[in-house]
A and B are shown apart, each in its own frame.
Chain A
Amino acid sequence: GAVVSQHPSRVICKSGTSVKIECRSLDFQATTMFWYRQFPKQSLMLMATSNEGSKATYEQGVEKDKFLINHASLTLSTLTVTSAHPEDSSFYICSARSSGGYQETQYFGPGTRLLVL
């Protein structure tokens, strides 16, 4: 099946620093990737939709200047958390949508656990 990787798997940073998370589709091309955030014991909340070669579409309440998304190729999307603060600590998960016509679906990366001190 389709494989999606994320890097890093875990990151600890000081408040005020920026953190970049990479999401890669390893064996398929993904014109669309999605970024989700999951706080402890909660559901996944969609943050933004990342489209290759165009600007990301952000969900209501998600600050686009704080969560910078770049989708420069068909296999790579990056999420940069700028000036991270403790309240940004969360589990960030990306997904990539395979293009299979009727059978297309989203495949999730393993997630990145961010802890901001």
Chain B
Amino acid sequence: GENVEQHPSTLSVQEGDSAVIKCTYSDSASNYFPWYKQELGKRPQLIIDIRSNVGEKKDQRIAVTLNKTAKHFSLHITETQPEDSAVYFCAASINTDKLIFGTGTRLQVFP
């Protein structure tokens, strides 16, 4: 079955700096890769997703890149703000079916 690894587990940045979180997956059949932001005690919130027919997608300060050959994808947050502090999860699935999540990255943005 699919296995998703995520790094780093914690990430601290200064406000205004960029943050990058990386994930790798094992199943080459996976074609849908969402990223979620989860605040303490809340539901995961979809912030961006990418499908395997594109290599990059951007939405304002957030971008995701996908390398199908290497089976890895990354989340890039630019101009970080304190409100970006949360736990971020990557996930992989086939055709938006069951999601296999990474282990999460706790991002702290210091003012």
Instruction: Please report A residues at the B interface, Cβ cutoff 8 Å.
Output: 32, 34, 42-46, 49, 59, 91, 93, 95, 97, 102, 104-111, 113
Contacts and interface: CB of A to CB of B under 8 A. Distances in A.
B43 A110 contact: yes
Q: Chain B, interface size: which category?
A: 20 to 34
Contact of A34 (B41, B42, B99): B99
Given A43-B103, A44-B99, A105-B49, 4 more contacts: A45-B101, A104-B96, A107-B46, A108-B44
15 contacts: A32-B97, A43-B89, A43-B102, A43-B103, A44-B44, A44-B99, A49-B98, A95-B99, A97-B96, A102-B51, A104-B96, A105-B32, A105-B46, A108-B44, A111-B42
Interface of B: 32, 34, 36, 41-46, 49, 51, 89, 96-104
